[in-house]
Amino acid sequence: FTLQMEYPKNLICLSNMPSVEETETDKCKVVKFDKTPKMSTYLLAWVIGEFEYIEDKTQRGVVMRIYTSVGNKSKATYALKVAVKCLDFYEKYFSIEYPLPKCDMIALADFAAGAMENWGLITYREVRLICDEDTAALEHKRDIARVICHELAHQWFGNYTTMQWWDNLWLNEGFASFMQYLSGDTVEPELNLWSMFMTREYANAFKLDGMASSHPIEVPVPTAKGADEVFDVISYCKGCCVIVMLQSFLGDEAFAKGLSAYLTRFAYANTVTTDLWQYLSQSSGKDVGKIMQCWTRAQGFPVIQAQIVSKEKGILRLRQSRYLSSGKPSKSEDETVWNVPIVMKVNGELVRILLDEKEKDFSISQLKNA
C-alpha cells in the first residue's frame, strides 16, 4: 500500500511506514508514506492528532517510538524499555529481522480493544502503555509488558506470516498469547509473567473448554463478518495452552527451529495449521500433525489418571477420559482419543511420553529407583 494523507498543519499524521514526501498548503500538510510490504488489508492504519513522543533504537538500529497525548510522554518510558528489549528478543528467537524501518506504538485515549497490531503502527489503549515506573503497581506493569510482547509477536505471527482465513485465527492469537509469556519472562523476569499464564490463560481455557457447549480451536468461518465470533477464550487461551504443551514436549530448540523455518517459508504469505505442523515435524523428528490434530479439531480436553502398576519393573499405567464440568461424560461424549504429550520429572530427569490410546502402560526405568 502507498498512502497519501492531507491533514491540518497543527496535527501529527502517522501510518505503517515512514513519510517520504511532505508538502504544505495554506492550512494543511500533504504527506506521502513509503510503500508497505505485501500485507493484509486489515493491518493498514493511520492516525491523525495531537501527540508527542519518546524514541529509542533496537540493537540493530530499528527506530521505536511511543506517541502519547501531550503531557504524557514521560509516562511511556517503561513501555518503551520493554518494547525495545522485546523486539531484540524476537529477532534472535525467530532468526528473522523485523522487516520495517520503524515501529511506532501509540496510546489512544478512546480505543475499544486493548491493542491492535497494525504493522509498524501499533495502537494501544492508554492504560496499556502509560504508567509511572516508580509508583505503578506490579499488576499494571505486568499488563503493559504482556500486551506489548503480545502485539510485537504479531509483527511475525500475523503480519509477516498471515493465516489463510479466519478459521485459522488461532495461528495469530494463540501464538501471540504464548509468545507474550516466553518473551516477557526473558525481557522482564522480575514480573514473573508465567504465574499469570496459570491464572489467566490456563484457568480460563479449562473453565470454558470443560463445558459441553465449548467448540474446537479450528471452526468453520464462512464469512468475514463471522470472524468476531472466534475472537474468544478458545482461540486465545486454549490456543496458548496447547502451544505451551507442544513446546515442552518438543523442546525449545526444536520448537524455535521449526518456527523459524515456517516463518521463512511463508514470509508475506498465507498459511493453515497443517503448514506449521509440517515444519515443527521436520525440526523435531516427531509427527506433530498426528499429535495435535485432536487438540485443534475436537472440543474439550482429557483428564489423565495415573497408576504405578509395578514399581519394581517401572510400569506406569495412564488412562484418559474427557473432562466435563457438568459431571462424568456419557459414552457418546467420551469418544475422542487425544494424543497427549506428557513431560514429567522423575528423580530429577525429564521423561517424555505420548499417551495415544484410552489406556496404555509405559515402561519407565527411572521409576524403579524413585
Pick the closest to residue 129 from 172, 69, 180, 87 (CA basis): 69
Can you tell me the distance from the alpha carbon of 352 to that of 183, in angstroms, rounded to the nearest whole number? Answer: 24
Q: How far is CA 54 from CA 51, 75, 101, 280, in A?
A: 11, 10, 17, 39
Q: Minimal CA–CA distance to 193: which of 130, 144, 258?
A: 144
The Cα–Cα gap between 353 and 346 comes to 12
- How far apart, in Å, are the Cα atoms of 134 and each of 78, 203, 237? 9, 31, 31
Spell out the residues 6+ positions from residue 56 whose beta carbon is closer than 8 angstroms to its own.
64, 80, 81, 84
> Could you tell me which residues come within 8 angstroms of residue 255 by beta carbon, excluding any fewer than 6 positions away?
246, 247, 280, 283, 284
CA distance 328 to 323: 7
Helix axes 77-94, 170-187, angle to 10 degrees: 110
3-state SS assignment for residue 146: helix
User: Rounded distance, CA 64 to CA 100, Å?
Assistant: 11
Name the catalytic one among 151, 173, 188, 201: 151
Of 317, 298, 303, which is closest to residue 364 (Cα–Cα)? 317
Q: How far is CA 292 from CA 172, 268, 287, in A?
A: 17, 25, 9
> Cα–Cα distance between 180 and 171 in angstroms, integer?
14
Catalytic residue status for 117? no
CB 309 within 8 A of CB 316: yes
- Cβ atoms 110, 95 nearer than 8 A: no
* Residues tagged active-site: 151
